[in-house]
Amino acid sequence: MTEATSKVQARHLKRNAYLYVRQSTLRQVFENTESTRRQYDLRQRAISLGWRPDQVVVIDTDLGQSGASAVDREGFQHLVTEVSLGRAGVVMGLEVSRLARNSTDWHRLLEICALADTLILDEDGIYDPAHFNDRLLLGLKGTMSEAELHVLRARLRGGILNKARRGELEIRLPIGFVYDSEGGVRLDPDARVQQNVRQLFRTFQRTGSAIATVRAFRDQGLKFPRRIYQGPNKGDVAWGELDHSRALWILHHPRYAGAFSFGRSRMRKHPDGRIVYKRLAPEEWTALIRDAHEGYISWDEFEQNKLRLRENAHALGDEREKGPPREGPALLQGLVICAVCGERMTIRYHQRGALLQPDYLCQRHGISHAQPICQQIPGGTIDEAIGKLLVETVSSRTLEVALQVQRELESRSAEAERLRQHEVERARYESELARHRYMRVDPDNRLVADSLEAEWNQALRALGEAKERYDKQRQTDDASVTDEQRAAIIALAKDFPRLWSDPRTPQRERKRMARLLIADVTLLRGTELRAQVRFNGGATHALTLPLPKPAWALRQTSSEVVSEIDRLLDHHTDAEIAKLLNDRGMTSGEGKHFTRLKVRKVRIAYDLKDRFSRLRARGLLTLDEIAARLNVCSVTIKQWRRAGLLQAHRFEDRGQYLFEPPGPDAPVKHRWKMRRKSNASLTTSNALNP
Ligand SMILES: [Zn+2]
C-alpha cells in the first residue's frame, strides 16, 4: 500500500476517479454478475485511497456491446475525453488492459493518461503511466490481452475451417434441404417445397432471367417457401412471394447442385463500423466439395445458370456483357460495340412512318462525362445487312463442313481426355489412402493425427486441383456434339432462311437466333459504315455499307426530276413545268404531285435560274427597255404586243412581259399605221367579196 499511496498525490485526489465497467455481450451481463460485482468493488478501493464517494464516476454505458472497435463504444470515447480534459485523477477497471479491446485504443489511452497525469488502477495495483516501468507493464498487459483475444478467435475459427474443408461442418441449409438423423443432407421431404424449388429452376431454364422467373411466379400466383429461423415458429416453413434477390440467391447457391461450399464471401468491418460482404471467386472459397449430396440441378446446369445470370447482369463489368433479348425490333440489341472507344452501344428508337427504326449509339461515356455522344449510327440498314449475311452464312453446307472439323477434333481430344482422367483417378486414390491413414490413427496421439490430417488435406487439395483442371479442359474441349444435336443443327440450317424471312417469326426469335450465331458487331461510322461481325466460334466478316441517308435526304426530290426541271425552265414557267411533270407521272421526293409552288421550291433549293432570268440572260427586254429602243411610249408597245407585232413572254407571277429584241422588221409608228390601214382595207374587201 505504501507504493500505492506514494503514487496517489493531492493533485490526483482533486480530480475525479473514473470507474470503467465493461461487459462484452448481453449474455455476459446476465451470467457474469460476479465480475460486475468485482468491478464495483474497485470503487471501494478508490475511496480507501482518498477519493470522496461523490468523486467516483461510473462509466458503464457500454454494457451489452462488444469492444472490438472504438466506434461502437460511446463509454470508452467518453472516458478518453474526460482524461484528455484533465478531469480524471485515476482510471479504474477490472484488468484495465481490457478497457480497450485492441492495442491501438489501449496505447492511445496510456499516452493520454501520461500526458494528463492520470493514474490507472486495477485489481493488481495502481500504475502511473508517466513512469517508465509502469508504462512498460501496462503496455504488456494490453498486448497480452489482445493476443489472447486473437488466439481465442483463431482457435474457434480454425476448428470451423477444418470441419468445413472436410465438408462436415453443419451449417444452415437453404430451403429445400434438411439434415437427416445422421447429419446427412437430404432433399426436403415436403413434396410441395421440393416442387416449388424445382419449378424455380425450370422457369429460369425457360425464361433465362431471374426477373422473368419472379414475374412468372407472380403471374401464376405461385408462392415460394422460406424457413423461419427465429421466433416461436422457428423451423417452420412460411410461404410468400418470390422476390428477385431471393431468386438470385438460390440460383447462385452451390447447394442446389449438390455441392458443399464454405467461405463464398468475406466479411470486412470498416473503420466506421459498417460491415461489408464481398463475394469471392470460386477458387478463393474455403471449401467446395461437389457431389456432396443430392441436388436439384446438375453442376453443369448450375454453371450454365451462373453464366447466364452474369450475361444478364448489365451492371457487371462495364456493361460489356450482353443483356437478354428484349422486345424492341433492333436485331443487334446488346451485340453492338463502338469501334471508336470499345464501349457497348445502346439503342434508341425513333418512329419513321409506321415503323420503329433503331439507332445504335455510344453515349455512356458522353453521359457520364457530359460530353457529346461518341457515335450515332442508324440501325435499319445494318440490321438488314446482318440478316442477309446470316441467311447466306447459315447454309447447311457450311455447317456440315464445320461439323466435320468438329468430329475430327473430338476424336483427338478423346485421347487427351483419357490421360487427364487417369490423373484425377490417381489423385482420388491418394486422398483415399490419406483418409484411411488418418482414420486409423489413435486420436489421442495428437502429433501423428495432426500431421496425418495435414497430409490428407494436402491430398484433398491435389484432388480438387486435378478435378478442376480436368473439368476446365473438358469444358473447352467439350464443344462435342451428339449425333442428335448434329441432326438438329443441320435441320435448323436448312430451315434457317425460311424461318428468318417468315413474317410470322417474332422479332425476338430473330434476335435470339442472331445471338446464337453472332458474338458481337463492331461499328464504325466514317465516310461509309463499316461493320466487323464476329461470329460465335471466332470467324469474322467485314461489311461495308453506304451511310444511310438522313431523314431529310429521304424526302429529297430525285436528281432526275431536278435536272428535268432545269431543262424545262428554258422554255416553260413554273406552273407549266408542274403540269408537264404531273402529266409524265413524276412525283416529288415525298411522293406527291407537283404544283407551281413546289417547282419554285425545288428551283430555289437547287439554285436553278428561273425562266425570267434565263430570258433576260438571252437578251430579252422589259417593257421600258423596248419602248426606249423603239423610241415609242410604253402604251404603244402594249398595243403592238396585243396586235401580235411584237414577240413577248408573259410572267403572271410578276405581272410582266419580256420582249424579244426587235429585228430589222420591227414596227415603227408610221409603218404600223399603214399596216393597220391595209388590214382594215383587207377586212373591208373581204366583207365586200363574200
Ligand atoms: Zn464510342
Mean pLDDT over 539-546 rounds to 85
Which grid cell is 15? Answer: 480530480
Q: Compute the distance from residue 540 Cα to the ligand 1 centre, in Å.
A: 21
Q: Are 106 and 96 contacting, i.e. CB atoms less than 8 angstroms apart?
A: no
- The DSSP code for 167 is T
Residue with cell 429445400: 176
Which grid cell is 76? Answer: 470508452
pLDDT grade, residue 444 (50/70/90)? Answer: confident
- pLDDT score of 575 more than 70: yes
Q: Please tell me which residue in 6, 24, 634, 681 is annotated as part of the active site.
A: 24
pLDDT grade, residue 256 (50/70/90)? Answer: very high
Q: Compute the distance from residue 14 Cα to the ligand 1 centre, in Å.
A: 74
Is pLDDT larger for residue 143 or for residue 434? 434
CB contact burial 166-176 (16+ within 10 A = b; e otherwise): bbebeeeeebb
Is pLDDT larger for residue 446 or for residue 161? 161
- Rounded distance, CA 235 to CA 329, Å? 49
Mean pLDDT over 117-128 rounds to 85
Quickly count: other Cβ atoms within 10 Å of residue 79's Cβ: 25
- Rg of the chain over all Cα atoms, to the nearest angstrom: 47
Quickly count: other Cβ atoms within 10 Å of residue 143's Cβ: 14
pTM of the model: 0.37
Mean pLDDT over 31-59 rounds to 79
The torsion defined by the Cα of 402, 400, 406 and 206, in degrees rounded to 10, comes to: 90
- Rounded distance, CA 444 to CA 28, Å? 33
381-398 pLDDT per residue, tens: 888 888 888 888 776 556
Catalytic residue flag (residue 24): yes
Q: Compute the distance from residue 375 Cα to the ligand 1 centre, in Å.
A: 6
CB contact burial 28-42 (16+ within 10 A = b; e otherwise): eeeeeeebbeebeeb
- pLDDT score of 334 more than 70: yes
Q: Compute the distance from residue 537 Cα to the ligand 1 centre, in Å.
A: 25
Quickly count: other Cβ atoms within 10 Å of residue 495's Cβ: 13
Q: Compute the distance from residue 373 Cα to the ligand 1 centre, in Å.
A: 8
503-515 pLDDT per residue, tens: 877 787 788 778 8
CA 602 to chain centroid = 49
- pLDDT score of 342 more than 50: yes
Residues in contact with 511: Cβ distance below 8 Å, sequence separation at least 6, in sequence order: 325, 331, 333
